[in-house]
Structure 1
Amino acid sequence: MAFSMALATGLFFVSLVAAQSNTPFCDSASGICFQGYTDPELDITIGLVLPDPPTDEFIVQMVAPATYGYTGLSVGGTMADSLLFTLWPNGDDIVLGTRWTSGYVLPEVYTGPQITLLPGSGVNSTYIQATFRCQNCTTWTDGSLGSGDQGGFQLIAYVAQTTTPPDDPADVGSTIIEHNDFDFFGMNLTQAQSTQYSSYVAGGSASTTSAPTTTSLPSSTPAPPSSTSSASGATQTEWGQCGGQGWTGPTTCAAGLTCVGVSPPYYSQCQA
């Protein structure tokens, strides 16, 4: 299956990035402040925040129309040799996973990164919003964030398949067809570093006066994701992992929490 070669056109990158660059915004649902970009035509918002000092992880926010077949993100700026995220709704569930490819063909599931959904994630009648922590995500096969310098410049690419859903929406590794829209923006990674990162990943709500705008799911409060598995065994706390392929830790969530498949069958976590 061939995918668009336009993602590799260097001159196009330069001219486009000159017009589109990161701006600050805060998510009212999670209290996390990002550097990112909102595409007014595709109605997609991408945000990124890194620890200060940088480590091997970051937090991403992806917001897109729930009617899209899927939305994708390349933190390496190109399709090939980059860490890719794919996102789509399956009813009230968020299906979010990582992929990688060495060429312009269907990206396959990429193992290694660990994704944890954070507060503010959900699906409603108009939008899907995923705010998530990605650990072991700054280096990948044949690439790295900011070419190894997390204080430098990074091209961020995003794509949308606006009409056709995955073959199996319940499977994070499902076959998908080529996107029919894409765009880019330039990211200053130094500006994306935050000393409040530790409170963000703890589910805390921190505020700042430097971010001029606030974003959250643009319509009604999202419906809570439905349960995809029943828990048993030791007790896991909120946002902790409770299932997935190869998982040997706790599978029972604390009182009031449900074990939810975030990237079935690879990862589940406890959510209220």
Structure 2
Amino acid sequence: MLWKSWIALVAALLQPGKSAASAVFQDPDTGLTFTSDFILYKADGRGITYRIAIPDNAQNYVPYDAVVQLVVPNDVGWAGLAWGGSMPRNPLLVAWKNNNDVIISPRWANGHVSPQPYSGSEYTIIKGGTKSNSTHWQVTALCKGCTAWTVPDTGAQRWVLPGGSNRLAMAYSPNKPSNAASPTSSISIHEVHSYWTHDFARAKNPNFEATVQRLIA
């Protein structure tokens, strides 16, 4: 029975739209308003929290900056986020803890292969929102180049629209990258992946640019 229960949960994890509606989170460390989703990766209830904050003046079909925050259990080797809702052909975030530091690596994959370093997006870690304790680590970062991109083989434009909900995807591995100190290190194949619909409309922040500039100064 336990084995069947585990299979059922894994099957549920791999289907889109299985998380509850995004919650609004007022972050005391940064002062930003995020929308937040908790995505399971283990049958025992362990999961990774993904949060997004965006400017209140962000417009459809216009690139805009975003702040992303991950809260990750210490047993996670690396955690991933796909801004386009699937692994291939969209900006990927891969993050892991290296001793007392957190590494964020922008990645891209043209298929279901190991994602390679990607120069089209850039992350600036916000130290005031990045911390760890005995059970979890948290990273908060400004991303430029995550909400709009061009698909290389077709030239098609893709967008993360700020006025509603967007499908995002996550991936998890228990294994750290081969060279955890390097953001370009090779990474292991993910053990679990999942999808959810994330609310961007309620993630809007007035004075976003000024707040972010203060946080990264």
Question: Structure 1 residue aligned with 2:134, among 125, 129, 139?
Answer: 125
Return the alpha-carbon distance in structure 1 between the equivalents of residues 197 and 147 of structure 2. 17
| Aligned partners of 1:92 and 1:124 also within 8 Å | no
Question: Structure 1 residue aligned with 2:113, among 96, 105, 111?
Answer: 105
Give, as a single letter, the amino acid of the residue that structure 2 aligns with 1:145.
W
Q: Percent identity?
A: 27
Return the alpha-carbon distance in structure 2 between the equivalents of residues 113 and 22 of structure 1. 25
Return the alpha-carbon distance in structure 2 between the equivalents of residues 79 and 137 of structure 1. 14
Runs (4+) of structure 1 exceeding 6 A deviation are: none
Give, as a single letter, the amino acid of the residue that structure 2 aligns with 1:160.
Y
Give, as a single letter, the amino acid of the residue that structure 2 aligns with 1:111.
S
1:161 alignment partner in structure 2: 173
Give, as a single letter, the amino acid of the residue that structure 2 aligns with 1:81.
R
Return the alpha-carbon distance in structure 1 between the equivalents of residues 195 and 27 of structure 2. 21
From the superposition, tell whether residues 19 and 48 of structure 1 become closer, same or farther in structure 2 (CA, over 3 Å).
closer
TM-score w.r.t. length of structure 1:
0.64
1:145 alignment partner in structure 2: 159
Return the alpha-carbon distance in structure 2 between the equivalents of residues 19 and 28 of structure 1. 24
> How far off is 1:191 after superposition?
2.1
Return the alpha-carbon distance in structure 1 between the equivalents of residues 23 and 104 of structure 2. 25
Kindly tell me the number of residue pairs found equivalent between the two proteins: 192
| Aligned partners of 1:66 and 1:88 also within 8 Å | no
TM-score w.r.t. length of structure 2:
0.79
| Aligned partners of 1:161 and 1:181 also within 8 Å | yes
2:77 alignment partner in structure 1: 69
3-state DSSP of counterpart to 1:115: strand
| Aligned partners of 1:75 and 1:145 also within 8 Å | no
Give, as a single letter, the amino acid of the residue that structure 2 aligns with 1:21.
A
**1:179-222: CA deviation from partner (whole Å, max 9, x where unpaired):** 11222221232222222413430346xxxxxxxxxxxxxxxxxx
> How far off is 1:93 after superposition?
1.0
From the superposition, tell whether residues 39 and 19 of structure 1 become closer, same or farther in structure 2 (CA, over 3 Å).
closer
Larger Rg belongs to: 1
From the superposition, tell whether residues 152 and 33 of structure 1 become closer, same or farther in structure 2 (CA, over 3 Å).
closer
| Aligned partners of 2:91 and 2:121 also within 8 Å | no
1:51 alignment partner in structure 2: 55
If asked which structure has higher relative contact order (CA below 8 Å, sep 6+), I would say 2
From the superposition, tell whether residues 111 and 128 of structure 1 become closer, same or farther in structure 2 (CA, over 3 Å).
same
5+ long unaligned stretches in structure 1: 1-11, 205-238, 241-272
5+ long unaligned stretches in structure 2: 1-11, 152-156
Answer yes or no: is 1:188 the counterpart of 2:199: yes
